A and B are shown apart, each in its own frame.
Chain A
Amino acid sequence: MTRADVLVLGGGGAGCSAALHLARRGADVVLLERGLVGSQASGVNHGGVRQQGRHPAEIPLAIRSRALWSRMRELCGTDAEFDPCGHLKLARGEAEEAELLRWNEMAAEHGLKASMLGRNAIRAQHPYFSDRVVAGSLLAEDGSANPRLLASALARSAREAGATLLEHHEVTAIEPGFRVEASGREFEAPVLLNCAGFWGGKIAETFGEPVPVYPLNPNMLVTEPLPFFCTRNLGVVGGDVYLRQIARGNVIFGGGRGESDPALPTSRPLPEPAFAAMARAVEIIPHLADAMIIRCWTGIDGGMPDALPVLGPSRTTSGLIHAFGFSGHGFMLGPAIGAILSELVLDGRTDVPLEAFDIGRFARQTALAEDASKTRLE
Chain B
Amino acid sequence: MSVVVVGAGPAGVRAVERLVAAGLRPIWIEEAPDGGGRVFQKPPPGFSRGHRALYGADHGRAFALHAALAALKPLTDWRPDTLVWNLRPGDLDVVSDGTHERLGWERIILCTGAMDRVVPIPGWTQPGVTSLGAAQIALKTQGLAIGRRVALCGTGPLLLLLAQQLTKVGAPPVLVLESAAWSTTLRAVPGLAWNPAAALRGMAWRAGLKVQTGAVPLRVEEGCTALRWRDSRGWEHRTEVDAVAMGWGLKPETQLADLAGARFAFDRLQRLWLPERDAAGRASVPGVYLAGDGASIGGSVVAELAGTRAALAVLQDIGEKPDPLETTLLDRALAREARFRRALERAFPYPHALAAAMPDETLLCRCEAITAAEMRASAAPEINRGKAATRVGMGRCQGRLCGPPAAEVLAQAIGCDIAEVGRLRGQMPVKPVVL
Instruction: State the A residues within 8 Å of B (CB).
Output: 36, 39, 43, 148-149, 152, 167, 221, 224, 248, 268-269, 271, 274-275, 278, 289-297
Contacts and interface: CB of A to CB of B under 8 A. Distances in A.
Nearest to B435: A278
Interface stretch (B235-243, B276-284, B305-313, B392-400): B392-400
A275 B435 contact: yes
Contacts of A275: 100, 435
Interface string B76-97: 0000000000101000010000
A294 B432 contact: yes
Interface stretch (B188-196, B346-354, B381-389): B381-389
Contact of A291 (B382, B429, B434): B434
Contact of B427 (A148, A278, A291, A295): A295
A296 B432 contact: no
B430 to A, nearest CB: 10
Nearest first, the 10 closest Cβ-Cβ pairs linking A and B are A292-B432, A148-B388, A278-B435, A294-B432, A271-B93, A296-B428, A297-B427, A295-B427, A275-B435, A293-B435
B368 interface: yes
B338 interface: no
B428 A269 contact: yes
B385 A36 contact: yes
Contact of B396 (A167, A271, A294): A294
Given A271-B428, A293-B435, 17 more contacts: A36-B381, A36-B382, A36-B385, A148-B389, A167-B381, A224-B395, A224-B396, A268-B428, A271-B102, A290-B434, A292-B434, A294-B395, A295-B394, A295-B427, A295-B429, A296-B429, A297-B427
Nearest to B259: A268
A27 B100 CA distance: 57
A292 B396 CA distance: 9
B389 A152 contact: yes
Interface residues of B, number: 22
B161 interface: no
A252 to B, nearest CB: 11
B435 A269 contact: no
B434 A296 contact: no
B150 to A, nearest CB: 31
Contacts of B100: 275
B169 interface: no
Contact of B388 (A43, A290, A293, A296): A43
Nearest to A289: B434
A112 B420 CA distance: 49
B285 interface: no
Contacts of A148: 388-389
Contacts of B434: 289-293
A36 B398 CA distance: 22
A362 B389 CA distance: 39
Nearest to A277: B435
A152 B432 CA distance: 30
A149 B391 CA distance: 11
A202 B385 CA distance: 27
B285 to A, nearest CB: 14
Interface in B357-394: 368, 381-382, 385, 388-389, 394
Nearest to A290: B434
A224 B389 contact: no
A293 B396 contact: no
A294 B433 CA distance: 7
A274 B102 CA distance: 14
Given A271-B428, A274-B435, A293-B435, A248 B398 contact: no
A36 B435 CA distance: 33
B79 to A, nearest CB: 18
Nearest to A276: B435
A188 B333 CA distance: 61
Name, among A221, A268, A295, the residue most crowded by chain B CB atoms within 10 Å (CB to CB).
A295
A149 B86 CA distance: 29
